[in-house]
Amino acid sequence: MDREDATECEKRKVVVVEAAGREAHTYINSNQDERFKKDIRPLAKYSYDQWETLGREDAHFTSLCGYSNPVTLGVWLYEQCLHYGVEFRIDSQVVSADLSSNNEIVSIGITSDGQKSSVLACNKIVLATGSWTPAVFKKLFPDSSVKLEPVISAGEWFVFENPEPDSEIAAAYFDDIVGEKLEFAGRNDHTIWVTGVKTDNGTVPDLGEVPKPDPASLAKLKAYSDNILKHPQNGLRVISQGRSYRPENRRQVPVIAGIPASQLSASRHRDGKTSVYINLGHGSYGVTLGMGSGKVMSQLVLGKKTDVNVSSMGVSFDG
């Protein structure tokens, strides 16, 4: 965050509220078609340059996050948000949104621990809830003409203890060897993350529901891991495992956009200012594009000219 953004943050109250009252399980890698890569290239370069600058200038970030460790990255982001005065509502769930007569957001309803209800006044909201964004948007704005179709892109994963904790941190891809998606990524916390083939079958779990991994897919992934990561002395110790969902959309292009007031509800006057924003559908490039997407979204919310042209990253409407 640059000095100008820090000043803006001090002027405005930012509150982060969970969508479902528990952690989301998101999936962060897989191949995408070339059209997707071409369409996001300007945003990717913009984001990558910011990550590179951060890595050079912030020693704490470099030591904490290392190579693509989303867990420690989340810790670092949380620390930065607290430093700039962001308030977090953990173990809460957004259940409703109240619009003015001009279709501008005025408040959201929140429940805590599934029981206590409260109202949080606001004049802008950003929905960035991964694969659950379509469900959250539909719940908050059931009369909207916006079309956010959920896309299933799930995959199983393991996190293993690294049997060679002093080895160099790196990523390895075995797609060409095994004939399907297979990726290993060493992390700076002495673990190895592995994922395999994605599936587009089934449905996205309900909000707050823990995804259930497919036993056959887990067994296959474990067999690959045992074979490739076999060690003469140390076996593989499983730290965690599960199934996660990649936030995609059918156009294979992210959505980074404000929703026109005229599209939120047909039952009110519709000449209000844009107050609802969506950040969704980065597919396997969520971490890579995270820095740039967040920066551009902040510029949209503040009514500034964006550093990257995201006019092609809007939403679709009924009719």
Give residue-wise pLDDT tens across range 244-256: 888 877 777 889 9
Give residue-wise pLDDT tens across range 133-190: 988 999 999 989 888 877 778 889 999 998 887 777 778 888 888 888 899 988 888 8
pLDDT at 18: 67
**For 255-284, what is the mean pLDDT?**
85
The model's confidence at residue 30, banded by pLDDT at 50, 70 and 90, is: very low
* pLDDT score of 221 more than 90: yes
Whether the Cβ atoms of residue 195 and residue 221 lie closer than 8 Å to each other = yes
Q: Order of strands, edge to edge, in the sheet holding 105-112? A: 92-99, 105-112, 116-121
- The Cα 172–Cα 185 span in angstroms is 6
Count CB-CB contacts under 10 A for residue 271.
11
For helices 41-57 and 286-301, give the axis angle rounded to 10 degrees.
100
Whether the Cβ atoms of residue 157 and residue 193 lie closer than 8 Å to each other = yes
Distance of CA 134 to the CA centre of its chain: 13
Q: Strands 183-186 and 191-195, how do they pair?
A: antiparallel
Q: What is the pTM of this model?
A: 0.84
Of the candidate ranges 131-135, 189-193, 232-236, 271-275, the one whose mean pLDDT is the lowest: 232-236
Return the residue matching tokens 């797609």.
Answer: 175
